[in-house]
């Protein structure tokens, strides 16, 4: 049981949800303002992707990341900023194999995946710790051991704490290897991602298996997607972890009613407090993660 978990809010993600949620944060201003509202509602960490302001499609543009980070910092709201580095790993396999990468792929090397970190210097950034058949169809998310070692080394050199995202158990195995090789500073921060097809299923047994194989001294968090988002706030807390919610993982407050990020954080706070816990703020999160305030 974690009596004092912190909350991460994942603001917008990279899925095609702009065609579903009528008020999904898309522009840098909308993403930053939604992150600020989530922090005011109780989130200690905000996890941000960026999107093309015209189309809503996911983007890797450095200027968009800079605009989001600057607006959050200029607001004066105390919150840890966590930027994705997962963009640039999408490989679509052609029907014949020889026509790979197929149209729609976005596959770049590890340096380009972290290009936006140099100017923004967030508190945290994600590192997706392995490859994965991502959903039905022919898309593979590519995160090879060599790419991950390069990414971890570069992120460490920038003085940024990686959030080590694990979508299946082999990813956590590799996290332990990164720690063993000295590529991740103590304490490691692990995010367990459940229910994403075709990674680790969202079951209590799966969550407990992850919890039992964490690196020494790890600070960890967990979430599940869609309708399981809120049940896994409770499950992660009961298993000893921190929690994550947000529109990246789930669009609804209840069936048929679209949510805001602040509303999802508020509900997570209610769940934590209903279980007898309290929600940790950004200063506590920094202390646990070994971070100084930027």
CATH of the domain at 57: 3.20.20.70
pLDDT in tens, 140-180: 999 999 999 999 999 999 999 999 999 999 999 999 999 99
- Please report, for residues 126, 191, 215, 218, the alpha-carbon distance to residue 210 in angstroms, rounded to integers and kept in the order given: 18, 10, 10, 12
The answer to the question of residue 122 being in a domain is yes
The answer to the question of residue 1 being in a domain is no
Q: Give CA–CA dist 104/88, Å, rounded.
A: 11
The answer to the question of residue 146 being in a domain is yes
Per DSSP, 1 falls in state -
The answer to the question of residue 271 being in a domain is yes
pLDDT in tens, 108-120: 999 999 999 999 9
Confidence of residue 293 (pLDDT cuts 50, 70, 90): confident
- Please report, for residues 185, 238, 239, the alpha-carbon distance to residue 160 in angstroms, rounded to integers and kept in the order given: 10, 29, 27
The predicted model gives 272-292 an average pLDDT of: 98
Q: How many CA atoms lie within 13 A of 203 on its CB side?
A: 7
> What pLDDT, on a 0 to 100 scale, did the predictor assign at position 129?
98
Which range marks the domain in which residue 199 is found? 7-289
The answer to the question of residue 164 being in a domain is yes
Number of domains in the chain: 1
> What pLDDT, on a 0 to 100 scale, did the predictor assign at position 60?
96
pLDDT in tens, 11-48: 999 999 999 999 999 999 999 999 999 999 999 999 99
- Give this prediction's pTM: 0.97
């Amino acid at each position: 049981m974690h009596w004092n978990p912190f909350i991460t809010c994942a603001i917008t993600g990279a899925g095609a949800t702009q065609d579903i949620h009528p008020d999904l944060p898309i522009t840098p201003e909308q993403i930053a303002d939604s992150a600020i509202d989530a922090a005011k509602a109780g989130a200690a960490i905000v996890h941000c992707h960026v999107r093309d302001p015209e189309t809503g499609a996911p983007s890797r543009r450095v200027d968009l990341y800079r605009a989001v980070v600057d607006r959050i910092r200029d607001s004066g709201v105390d919150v840890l900023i966590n930027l994705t580095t997962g963009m640039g790993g999408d490989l679509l396999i052609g029907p014949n194999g020889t026509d790979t990468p197929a149209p729609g792929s976005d596959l770049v090397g590890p340096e380009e995946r972290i290009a936006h970190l140099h100017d923004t210097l967030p508190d945290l950034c994600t590192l997706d710790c392995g490859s994965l058949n991502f959903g039905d169809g022919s898309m593979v998310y590519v995160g090879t051991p060599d790419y991950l070692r390069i990414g971890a080394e570069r992120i460490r050199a920038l003085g940024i704490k990686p959030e080590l995202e694990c979508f299946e158990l082999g990813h956590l195995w590799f996290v332990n290897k990164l720690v063993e090789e000295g590529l991740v500073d103590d304490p490691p921060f692990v995010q367990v991602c459940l229910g994403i097809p075709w990674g680790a299923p969202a079951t209590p047994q799966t969550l407990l298996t992850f919890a039992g194989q964490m690196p020494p001294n790890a600070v960890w968090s967990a979430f599940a997607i869609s309708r399981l988002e809120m049940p896994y706030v409770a499950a992660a807390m009961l298993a000893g972890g921190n929690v994550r919610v947000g529109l990246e993982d789930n669009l609804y407050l209840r069936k048929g009613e679209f949510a805001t990020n602040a509303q999802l954080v508020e509900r997570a706070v209610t769940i934590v407090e209903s279980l007898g816990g309290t929600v940790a703020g950004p200063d506590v999160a920094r202390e646990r993660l070994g971070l100084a305030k930027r």
